[in-house]
A and B are shown apart, each in its own frame.
Chain A
């Protein structure tokens, strides 16, 4: 008889994450390009991660990164055009969360952005969203057109996964 493997580390509230196939979620949602509808999708993603016992730190990181990706899509990608849409795909499993955010803009080259942590740019008000996404996610990958980004966060309750891509590791900085 096959037994369900339970990780040693437990998630939030001391519960082991639910590893049943039914716990996983895969969705594609198209929403009007505005902050309110985009944030409703963000809330659904976070609620599912919470049900799967993602740690508080994971939830903070996911909220921050998804918020930045959605803001970039609405403001910079779709340039606040209410006739455009944002296309969100997400796959949430007990082990990892992958969130894809695409806008209908012309895209940009993330590698061309100046480093906001340089002393000469510390007093500049903008340009920190992508830095924060990269810092808090295990992986941040832009598509070739530069109008879509895939965020990946491993559930820290699974140390075997969380250790794969540590903050600042070369693998973590493999952007396209």
Chain B
């Protein structure tokens, strides 16, 4: 059952949480601060949080939004969790390339590929 938050739509697939933005533009500083609060609450409620953040439908974001993503990544790493980004349109991906944040985040084209990248490794020799 998806949880509706003010700025995020969160759904769960096993231990993976899929986070989607409810707005097309992630620009306003006040909204970004609330998004940061909502992401922090999700991370702190989990043991080793696994988050997939989808940017499907997002057509603008600011440097402040990038700051929130970096902060989220730092918190997840602190909790020994995993973060994946996906569904980023070409214009916004250019923002990640210019800032070299495509080297910091693990970015996948689709939600499916992002989720599959979090699958536990198969044990060697397992049938």
Interface of A with B (CB < 8 Å)? 35, 57, 60, 63-64, 67-68, 71, 75, 116-117, 122-129, 131-132, 135
Contacts and interface: CB of A to CB of B under 8 A. Distances in A.
Contacts of A63: 60
A125 B60 contact: no
Q: Which 9 A-B pairs have the closest CB atoms?
A: A125-B67, A128-B63, A129-B63, A117-B100, A135-B98, A122-B104, A125-B70, A125-B71, A60-B91
B99 A116 contact: yes
Contacts of A128: 63, 66-67, 99
A129 B98 CA distance: 11
Contact of A117 (B64, B95, B99): B99
Given A71-B64, A124-B70, A135-B98, 10 more contacts: A60-B91, A64-B60, A64-B62, A125-B71, A125-B74, A126-B67, A128-B66, A128-B99, A131-B98, A132-B63
Contact of A123 (B60, B70, B99): B70
Q: For chain B, what secondary structure do more than half of its interface residues adopt (helix, strand, loop), or is it mixed?
A: helix
Contacts of A122: 70, 100-101, 103-104
8 contacts: A60-B60, A71-B62, A117-B99, A122-B103, A122-B104, A123-B73, A123-B74, A132-B99
A67 B74 CA distance: 26
Interface residues of B, number: 24
Contacts of A60: 59-60, 91
A160 B27 CA distance: 32
Contacts of A67: 27, 60, 62
A126 B62 CA distance: 11
A53 to B, nearest CB: 18
Contacts of A124: 70
Interface string B83-127: 000000001000100111101100000000000000000000000
B29 interface: yes
A68 B63 contact: yes
